Structure 1
């Protein structure tokens, strides 16, 4: 486990990785507190996996610095590897072996004697709800079961730092929730988790802090609440009675609220972020004013809800040109000139 000195689990400065003409990682700065779940959020191709592979010593950085518990990932790679474990985007278990055989084999490779390896395998299979499937070949497991077995293999020797690279990709909601429970249990034992994901709800549920990465750069970083507040003081969701009047309602709301109003997939629904105005009107006052203007225009609202912006709205705002840069300025980190920092 961490050394208890308050030293970050991960610290990077100006981290860069280039493949040909592609700057896959373009000056990433991260500070990950020990004993937490830290989320790295971004679309495909954002640079999440490349960043993880550098931190796990599988790729050599082209520029910048990266340390894991104070250890340099390049010059002290062996020491770093002794403290970390990585679960990639796809299950890496041997599908022709049973659940027990997979874990026992890996435990033996990690130095456990055979009785201890079988004991550890049985304990993990039980903890991850796989005891009944222990003697079945992994190729007959469901996707969620394979993922749980894969994570179990990653913690045969409890790591100080566990990299989970999009661990729930392709899983159904029940399996995803099971993986989330496992992540919480791992962190409760003192392990730090760096979680990359495309699922905004996953980052919101698990991570204490989140870095949003786009095109190889960290464009925002903070707690989920901080990131949400950066793109608006609230969010209003409306459902109209008459779909034919939605264009009119959208135009009216944009004029009254001074913000972009999104037409949802539901032909009766509209969503708008509420920005604090110059008179410090809160989201409830802004929503009330908007509803009153709709009523005055004869537009009937059958249902509405008011709440914080979702992380989905945060991500769209942060990665949407000028809107993203403006929102990022109010959060923790904007990365505009990182190449200069690592030149």
Structure 2
């Protein structure tokens, strides 16, 4: 929301009241009759978009005041107002207070209004730019965290190294072919990149066991979607990453785990990753079996289309491999 709050600081109260009376319809104006009072208002009643300060005031002059404002409230746009305009004053105001505008007394309300409008636009532009930069930094940090989590999983198990990245690659290709929005595709990519994060709590000997797993061992491995959900739930993702991770082993007919969801209860992003996960897993070598190859993997999802796997997603996946020559090269 745009901020149009302005603080006028001058030891001549009549001047402040005059500006307040004439400009109150255009701006949200507060007044202070000293630098000290101005600083108190900034701390207790802010944030302000603009501060206008007289130069000559007792105890604390305008340069000192605006310099302090710059230190304590750097986002506030600063304007100097004085009847003693000279090069020395202007230089001090610019260098120490980094003022945006320099106005001389007597200042007509029209000139003051113009200066405030420009200053408010500048303030809101700076705030908007910072928000964009902060969002980009947050996204970069999020990406780095996701990559670190992915490496953590795959560093434990050489057989599945790169599995999550390859699942993400296929999932994104499916999402694009479905015509999903870029934000949704990015959600799919992030979730796929860490969909097996819950395996960090699965004993490594279960993951790398060359023979068949016992029912107990299978039960432990089947906990990894729930564990992944619990790991990711506290993280403030913009999209339902933790839920997608929780659902990536669900099946349309309710035969999946951990919740036994059916049909529309499963997110489309989860359905995409489910198909990509099955295909990539069957194409890759595992401790307990060699790669089954692309044809068998595609045959698996084709056979169970509409039963376990979403028909549209399966058809798109088949087309990607059979017509578009998709491969898992990262």
With normalisation by structure 2, the TM-score equals 0.23
Q: Which fold has the larger relative contact order, with Cα–Cα distance below 8 Å and residues 6 or more apart in sequence?
A: 1
Which has a greater percent of helix? 2
With normalisation by structure 1, the TM-score equals 0.23
Which has a greater percent of strand? 1
Name the larger-Rg structure.
2
